[in-house]
Structure 1
Amino acid sequence: MQSLAHQIQQQVKQYHIDNISDLPAFLAEQTTPIVIKGVCAHWPMVQSAYRSDTDALKYLANIASNSPVRAFTAKAKEQGRYFYNTDMTDLNFTQYASNLVELITTLKQTLNTQAPDSYYMGSTASDYCAPEFTTQNPLNVTSHHCLTSLWVGNHSRIAAHYDNADNLACVGAGSREFILFSPEQVDNLYIGPLEFTPAGQAISLVDFMAPDFNRFPRFKNALDNAQIAKLEPGDGIFIPALWWHHVSAHSQFNVLVNYWWRQAPDYLANPFDAMLHSMLAIKDLPQSQKTHWQKFFEHYVFSEDKKLDAQIVPHVKGILGDIDEQTARRVRQLLLQKLNR
C-alpha cells in the first residue's frame, strides 16, 4: 500500500476540533471529505488506546455484550484484503457467528502472532453490541436521525466502495488510511457486480496494494484525482454520501466508530433502489429512447429551477408537489402495484 499512497499527492483537508465551535452545523456545510483532528480524543476508548492495544482491548471487553454478531476472517496469506477469490466464484474470507466478547478474546490471542489471520466485526450498531459505548464515548454530529456503529478487528484492507449515507468515521483505536475518490471517478474505478458483493456494496476490483494498470488503465486517472488521509486514535474523517473510499487498518487492534445519517426525511426511498429500477426499465432501450428518458429525468428529478406544479391546481398536484410522508406512502403503493403486474 505504501507505494500506491506515495503516488497520491492530494491530502484530505484537515481541521482541528478546537477550532470548531458547533460540530453538527460545521458538518452540515461540508460537501467534500475532511479530517477533524482530535474530534474524539476525549473518549475513554481513545485514552485507553493511547496507552496500549492491551488496555484498549480490556476497555472494550468490559462494555461488550454477548449479543450474537456476524464476524469475518481471512487467512494470513490474504494480507487483510477482504475480496473475491481468484476466479470470482466465491469470496476469499469466511463469515461466522460470534459476539463481541468472543471476538475480543480472539484478537487478544493474535497480538503476539507474527503473521496472524485477520478478523473483524463489520459495522454493527453500538447500542446492540456494546450498550454503554455511546454513553461513555459521546459525540453529537448531526440533527438528523443518526446510526452509531462499531467496526472492531485487526489488520484489514477494504476495497473502494461508497455508502448511501453521510459518514463521520472516528478512530477509537489503531490507525486508518483512507484513499478517497469523488463520485465522478466511477468510470475509472472498475466496479464489480452489484448483486454479488463482499459486504453489500459494489466495490472496485483494483488491488490498491498492487494495481494492474494493464487490466485497469483508467485507474491512473482515478489516482490523479484521489485524496488520502491517515488517521490516528482520536481523529475522524467526514465522508459525504457516494464518495468512494478504500480503507486500510494497519494496527494489531483497531476500532472505528461510524456515524451514519441521511440529509433527507426517513420516509424518502433509497436512491439506489431507484437506480436498479431504472436499469431494469431503461438501460437496454434503444439509444434514442434512452436520450429522451434522460430529458424526462432532468425535467422531473434533477432540475432545481423548475416549478413542476405551478400550472396545476393544489388538490391534484400529487408527487409533482413537495413530497411529504403521506405522499411517499402513496408513491410506494403505486410502485408496488406496477411492479406486481
Structure 2
Amino acid sequence: MFAAAPIKECQASSIADLKVFLAEQTEPLVIRGLCVDWPQVMAAKQSSKNALDYLLGLANNAPVRSFSSQAIHQGRYFYNADFSGLNFSQHADNLVSVLQKLARSITQTDSDSLYMGSTAVEYCAPGFSVKNPLTVTDYNCLTSLWVGNHSQIAAHYDNADNLACVAAGKRTFTLLPTDQVNNLYVGPLEFTPAGQAVSLVDFNNPDFNRFPRFKEAIAKTQSATLGPGDAIYIPALWWHQVSATSPFNVLVNYWWRQAPEYLANPFDAMLHSMLAIKDLPNEHKQKWQQLFNHYVFADDVDLASHVAEPAQGILADIDELTARKIRQLLLQKLNR
C-alpha cells in the first residue's frame, strides 16, 4: 500500500452544532469520538462478541441481501478475471442470519468474507436509531447499515454527502478528489459490483504497468483509520476506497443531498449528455459546452429577468412545479 497524506481531523467535543458544522464543510474530515456514547460503540469497545450480540438484540428477519467472497480474494469485492461476472456471491438473507454466520467466523483465521451491504437501519434493526441517535442535517437523510468481517470496497464516489460512523471494528478510508477521475481507470458505468462505477486499480497492490496514470493520483490521496465511535465526512463525488479490517465491523452511513427532493439525479443528466453530446464533432461539443456553462454552471448569469414573467417558464428559479414541467418536457422528447 502506498503512503497517503492524513485526512484533516477534529474532536467531536469541539463541535457545538453538528448540523451547522457539517453544512459548512467542503473537504473530507475525520471527527474523532462523534458516536462514542452509542450503546453499539460501547459494546464494541468491550469485544467483537459484545458488539455482535448488541446488534443481534435489535435485528429482525426482514429480507436483505448479503455478499460472500472466498478467502483467496482477501475480502476484495470486485470483478472476476475476464469481467464476465463478479468475484463474489449474492444471497437472499436476513440480518439475524448474517450475524449468526459472522459469530461463527469471529475466531477463524483466513475465513471467507461476508457482509450485508447498505441497508436502511430501521428496516433491518428497528430501534437502532433511537438507541444510537445522531442528527446530521435538515435535508432528507438516508441512514443505512453495513455489517461484516474483513472487506475491501473498491474506490467509488457517491452522489450524496456522506457521514460514515464506525460503530464496531476498524475501517480505513482512502480518498481522492473528483478531479482525479482520469487517473483512476474507472470501470463500466452500467455493470458495477454494487451500483456505483469503481476504479479498477487495486489500491493495496497497484499495477503501474497497466495503470500508469495512477502514480499521479497517489500524490492527491488522503487516508485515515477509524475505530469505534469515530466518523468521517466525505463530500459528494469524492472517490473513496474502504477497507474493514476487524473480525466484526459495523458502519452506519448518513447520506443526504444538499438540494430539494424534487430535483433530479445529476448522474442521469450525465448519461443523457453522453448519449446526446459525447460523439459529436469537437466543434459542436465546444459550442454545447458554452451553452451548458450559460444555462447550468454559471451562477452569475441572469437567465430570466429580460423575459416577461409569465413567459419565463423553466428559465426561472426551479421550484417543485417547475421541476415537474421539466420532467414532462423531457418525457415528451425522449418518447419521440
TM-score, length basis structure 2: 0.99
Q: CA deviation at 1:114?
A: 1.3
Matching residue within 265, 272, 276 for 1:277:
272
1:87 equivalenced with 2:82 (yes/no) = yes
C-alpha distance in 2 between matches for 1:175 and 1:111 = 14
One-letter code of the match for 1:253? Answer: F
The equivalent position to 1:208 in structure 2, one of 203, 223, 227, is 203
Find the residue that maps to 2:57 and give its secondary structure: helix
Distance in 1 (CA, whole Å) between partners of 2:171 and 2:109 is 20
**Distance (whole Å) between structure 1 residues aligned to residue 42 and residue 313 of structure 2:** 54
One-letter amino acid matched to 1:108: A
**Match of 1:162, as an amino acid?**
Y
- In structure 2, the residue corresponding to 1:171 is in which secondary structure? strand
Alignment of 1:1-341 (within 5 A): 3-4=1-2, 7-8=3-4, 10-341=5-336
Please state whether the residue corresponding to 2:137 is helix, strand or coil. coil
Structure 2 letter corresponding to 1:275: M
Provide the rounded CA distance (Å) in 2 between the counterparts of 1:319 and 1:73.
48
- 2 CA distance for matches of 1:208 and 1:122? 21
| % identity of equivalent residues | 62
| Residue 111 of structure 1, CA deviation | 0.9
* CA distance in 2 between partners of 1:106 and 1:319 (Å): 54
Q: Runs of 4 or more off by more than 2 Å in structure 1? A: none
CA distance in 1, matches of 2:27, 2:315: 30
Which whole-Å deviations, capped at 9, do the CAs of 1:160-219 have from their partners, x for residues lacking one? 000000000000000000000000110110000000000000000001111000110110
Amino acid at match of 2:102: L
* Aligned equivalents of 1:43, 1:220: Cα separation in 2: 40
For 1:120 and 1:88, how far apart are their aligned partners in 2? Answer: 22
In the alignment, the residues of structure 1 paired with residue 333 and residue 274 of structure 2 have an alpha-carbon distance, to the nearest angstrom, of: 16
One-letter amino acid of the structure 1 residue matched with residue 16 of structure 2: S
The unaligned stretches of length 5 or more in structure 1 are none
- Structure 2 unaligned blocks of 5 or more: none
SS in structure 1 of the partner of residue 36 of structure 2: coil
Q: For 1:183 and 1:292, how far apart are their aligned partners in 2?
A: 24
Amino acid at match of 2:84: T
| C-alpha distance after superposition, 1:60-88 (max 9, x if no partner) | 00000110001000000000000000011
Deviations 1:201-239 (A, max 9, x none): 000000111100011011011110111111000000000
Residue type of the partner of 1:229? A
- Give the TM-score normalised by the residue count of structure 1: 0.98
Q: 1:121 is aligned with what amino acid?
A: M
Q: Secondary structure at the match of 1:63?
A: coil
Provide the secondary structure at the position in 2 that maps to 1:180: strand
1:215-271 C-alpha deviation (Å, 9 max, x unpaired): 101101111011111100000000000000000000000000000000000000000
How far, CA to CA, are the matches of 2:43 and 2:241 in structure 1? 27
Distance across 1 between alignment mates of 2:281 and 2:63 = 49
